[in-house]
Structure 1
């Protein structure tokens, strides 16, 4: 292999002490932050026109006199590896908020090449510390995805009611149509008006006697026993998510081809403002040795258990057991199940 073209490991930014080097953003970083948000946060990337408009809007707000603060980890090539952007706005003061300032964590983005290195935690921590210690902010808000909630809870955030949003645009018309009929919206504007959803994928395992295998959660009292799986990352397809999450949570590698056992859907609720879409794939039957060899992530699960289906009923909320039963029946019959009542708030 030509040494000039041989793959090399991506260098990880670190200081001499091994800490992640976080710096405060300036107005010159506005476009980079906007591009990180477009590529790694939004459900549909912005066009160049909107990237320019957003960057022009953000740049002056990142100045010392502006209302935006951001912190960045630079990649070795000079691009951004991670960033966190907060917007500060006034509110009526109160004893707990004497300066009358509230900050919303508006953007947290990490480039896929630099994930799972603590960069998101580093930039968010730097942002919160600066806003609290320097700006005097005492109230913070964030709308976090399911996969990010453990981090924000560790940083001190607690749950809140579901986010309610409304988009009101000035009426527009299209040539040749009545004035009362709105024009087609640009994709980035239309995307803001449609329902949003998060997606997850799971793997259903049994032992050689067809007894379901589940993992005991250390973070979710509402769902104490779970299938191996989790929330999709940007750019992933459902089966890729199932394979990755299973490997991270159990050390097991699921071989294809994918076999879908169930499609799951849930409406938003007080605990989460988006709909939920999930897919459960068949991981097959595990030998006793494979089950003994499972390696758990202690931050997510602390026990592996295999039981006959009927014995799971006493250990799980009714809705969780109903989903497990539907998946088990799908494995038995070979017909995928549809479980459409996985709603938030209907525990």
Structure 2
């Protein structure tokens, strides 16, 4: 996934209107975005309880693995002058959006004292440009009459054949699998969305297990994780990806190799929440095959993630890794050797 765009310094001239400097929003910007929406988008501002609830909802969704992207312009007083926020969601694919990814432009807000300076255009343009890098090619929004000319200039078009219709949960209650409908005196059946809130959520990841031609495991050394220094090649699944697609993408980004497949699963790894991460993780370790000495020498590392690639006999890794990490590596090696896929649920944060 593309990392947040760093702000670019703007030249200042005394008395001149400040040029908008647009940057990608971070989880720490969640409250400012919520307050901007409350004050200048909603017909009725939220109270502090709802400000807090919305902030808690938005904060994790603004992370790299979340489904929300936003771009903002900072105010000189440390707050935010303008923002544009989009929610990414899956749709059935068509030729115009073959990846089946759409984004709803959910919030566009500018403080009244800095309007008519091009701030809304700047943040919306940055948001759309960034979403296209994530292969989102269908964009949706609800436009006011005042904002409609801007969105038309950015490529949006209305349809006289479509009508905006809304309904609250009380008008759309549905029977949920496993929940028996009651009579009028019973508690109303939950909607699908409400039921979905009650089931477990998990983060996915995909990795590749490489060895050299002597079947010695290959791992890369992390520059950001001293507690778990040696790692397989791979990472967290981006929105819309399958674990194999993640493994292939991360392999290209981390060591400059693109495996051809087909995927061969060596292990499935389940980990409960921990280490500050609020949800379980489920990972797939695929067989990357054997690399020649020339291929290993040609590996190019991403210096922002790893600073060394190493090949050792399995026993040689034991002193370099937490016990849980080594046990997981051993199970993966055994799965490669025997052809029997491993299931691992003993790994957890804190025991490596």
Report the TM-score, using the length of structure 1 for normalisation: 0.57
Aligned ranges 1:288-299 → 2 under 5 Å: 288-299=293-304
Return the offset for 1:235. Answer: 1.0
Which structure 2 segments of 5+ residues have no match? Answer: 12-18, 26-32, 43-68, 71-83, 91-99, 114-118, 136-168, 176-180
Largest Rg, 1 or 2: 2
Return the offset for 1:318. Answer: 0.3
User: Structure 1 173/39 Cα, relative in aligned 2: closer, same or farther at 3 Å?
Assistant: closer
Return the offset for 1:111. Answer: 1.4
Return the offset for 1:177. Answer: 2.7
Matched, 1:37 2:87: yes
- Maintained 8 Å contact 2:270/2:282: yes
Return the offset for 1:251. Answer: 0.5
- Maintained 8 Å contact 2:270/2:344: yes
1:81: which partner in 2? 128
Work out the number of aligned pairs and report it: 236
Q: Distance in 1 between matches of 2:349 and 2:289?
A: 29
Alignment partner for residue 332 of structure 1, among 333, 337, 344?
337
1:185: which partner in 2? 191
- Maintained 8 Å contact 1:202/1:281: yes
2:22: which partner in 1? 22
Return the offset for 1:74. Answer: 4.8
SS at 1:222 equivalent: coil
Q: Distance in 1 between matches of 2:344 and 2:9?
A: 52
Matched, 1:201 2:221: no
Which structure 1 segments of 5+ residues have no match? Answer: 1-11, 66-70, 83-109, 116-168
- Maintained 8 Å contact 1:173/1:181: no
- Maintained 8 Å contact 1:250/1:297: yes
Q: Distance in 2 between matches of 1:275 and 1:301?
A: 25
Q: Distance in 2 between matches of 1:211 and 1:339?
A: 21
| Structure 1 consecutive aligned stretches of length 4 or more whose deviation exceeds 4 Å | 14-21, 23-35, 62-65, 71-75, 172-176
Alignment partner for residue 248 of structure 1, among 253, 262, 269?
253
- Maintained 8 Å contact 1:216/1:225: yes
CA distances 1:91-135 after superposition (whole Å, capped 9, x unpaired) = xxxxxxxxxxxxxxxxxxx515269xxxxxxxxxxxxxxxxxxxx
1:154: which partner in 2? none
User: Structure 1 73/325 Cα, relative in aligned 2: closer, same or farther at 3 Å?
Assistant: farther
CA distances 1:18-65 after superposition (whole Å, capped 9, x unpaired) = 99951898769969979712539xxxx9x99xx89xx6xx678x6569
User: Structure 1 72/113 Cα, relative in aligned 2: closer, same or farther at 3 Å?
Assistant: farther
Alignment partner for residue 268 of structure 2, among 255, 263, 268?
263
2:131: which partner in 1? 111
1:307: which partner in 2? 312
Alignment partner for residue 227 of structure 2, among 213, 222, 230?
222
Report the TM-score, using the length of structure 2 for normalisation: 0.56
User: Structure 1 197/79 Cα, relative in aligned 2: closer, same or farther at 3 Å?
Assistant: same
SS at 1:324 equivalent: helix
User: Structure 1 283/39 Cα, relative in aligned 2: closer, same or farther at 3 Å?
Assistant: same
CA root-mean-square deviation: 4.3
Return the offset for 1:73. Answer: 8.1
1:287: which partner in 2? 292
1:106: which partner in 2? none
